[in-house]
Amino acid sequence: MKLGVFSNTVGGGSPEQVAERSRHLGIEAVQLRLEWPGLDLLVSAVDRARVRRAYESVGIEIAALAAYTNLMAPDPQTRRRNHSWFSEVARVAPELGTRLVVTESGSYHPTDTWQDHPANHTPKAQTDLAEVIAPLAELCEGEGVTLALEPYVANVLASAGQATQLATTIGSPALGFVLDTAGLVTPETLPRNADVTAEALIALAGRIVLAHADDVRYDAAGQATWLPLGWGDLDAEAFLHGLAHSGFQGALIIEHLAEALVPQALAFCRERLRPVGRR
């Protein structure tokens, strides 16, 4: 299991400088953001090769691309545009050194993909989701990449159980999922978050292609603050030990942290993975 961060966690004036600083911080893998000042990773093969080469030269794996977009946008034109953009990202992923493209399912909320909406939690939403994901998974299969969906409680794909149902409905080998317990709990289920982790590991067995090490803390009004794993109210050891014992061998990406916290966050995860053996 390699430990890493999102690429934009680390600053620098060039891909080479960012990669070198990442190596010095102890980062082993990145989930790559496409937004780089002065570069266009969708349009330019030269820019894609440069970013890939920068990380490869320092021994850091580009584990996945961050291709987050609202696949369920209620406005038809916006939905078509988002699907087209995601498809382009999937096509260039291999040139960037990865075959894993990550997105959320999205929300019927008219302006915010991460905001909940009553329509998200209906049987029709799950039917529509399957109709949306099936052609995208087929495209990814043809490109030799994996579509990795990240379940989130305020999205249409809100739970590990729904993810399993979706995988069964579509039946595509190009569909996988991201394990992110912080995104699977609500203020009501947070006290039993270790059970949520265990249930998700069982439900998604064999289908987890990436994991996120982040955390959450809810205030009295139910508003979430997102933090790196160990800084919030999740049972971090239950998450890390469960992930290790599941046989997961992909990348574990730490989220929601400043560059200065990277060494401490990596050490936190490594110390808790050591007793169960890092695979």
Given phi > 0 = left and psi -120 to 50 = alpha, else beta, which region is 222? left
**Distance between CA 207 and CA 275 in Å, rounded?**
25
DSSP E strands, 141-218: 146-149, 175-179, 208-218
The label of the residue with tokens 């979706």 reads 166
- Name, in order, each residue with C-beta under 8 angstroms of 183's C-beta and a sequence gap of 6 or more: 150, 151, 152, 153, 212, 214, 216
Task: Please give the share of the chain, as a percent, with pLDDT higher than 90.
Answer: 97
Instruction: Report which DSSP code applies to 257.
Output: -
* Dihedral sign for Cα atoms in the order 141, 160, 261, 247: negative
pLDDT at residue 279, as a whole number? 47
How many Cα atoms are found within 13 Å in the side-chain-facing hemisphere of 57? 13
Q: How many domains does the chain have?
A: 1
Q: Does 277 have pLDDT greater than 70? A: no
The CA distance from 111 to 104, in Å, is: 15
pLDDT of residue 278: 52
Mean pLDDT calculated for residue range 97-113: 96
- The number of beta carbons lying within 10 Å of the beta carbon of residue 75 is 12
* Reported pTM: 0.95
Helix, strand, coil percent values for the chain (each to nearest 5): 45, 15, 35
| pLDDT tens figures, 152-185 | 999 999 999 999 999 999 999 999 999 999 999 9
The parent domain of residue 138 ranges over 2-276
pLDDT band at 101 (very low <50, low <70, confident <90, very high): very high
pLDDT tens track for 11-40: 999 999 999 999 999 999 999 999 999 999
The CATH number given to whatever domain includes residue 246 is 3.20.20.150
Tens of pLDDT, residue by residue over 190-241, are 999 999 999 999 999 999 999 999 999 999 999 999 999 999 999 999 999 9
